Amino acid sequence: MIETQSPPPVEKFLKPFQAFFHAEASGGILLLICTVFALIWANTPFAETYFDLWHTELTLQIGTFILSYSLHHWINDGLMAIFFFIVGLEIKRELLVGELSSGQKAALPVAGALGGMIFPALIYAIFNS
């Protein structure tokens, strides 16, 4: 009689996490969970620790070259620049060879993007004039 071995306990534990992170929506779900967690944390009596985290200094030193900024600054100036660079590359690919390669297919997303920039500016102008 041949006995089959059951998977090790670690594999049983990790399998649901692996399935979750292979799903396409996992990044959005994780972002939503972290956003809710951060909003709750920032609006509780523990808010000071939340803001202390954002003002933690992170230093990158290579020889005599030193960059030392707060976590907030690294994210706003560094990671956001990388994020928008990647978004720009994806939009370029879609416009050249993807779903938005024809003017007719690109019209609605372009109109939505323009509206998303124009209407907030108009609302700001109305309330601040």
Residues 110-121 have pLDDT tens digits of 899 999 999 999
Model confidence pTM above 0.85 = no
What value does the mean pLDDT take over residues 57-68? 95
CA distance linking residue 53 with residue 66, whole number of Å: 21
CA distance linking residue 32 with residue 56, whole number of Å: 24
Q: Structure tokens of 48?
A: 């000071």
Please give the distance of CA 59 from its chain centroid, rounded to a whole number: 22
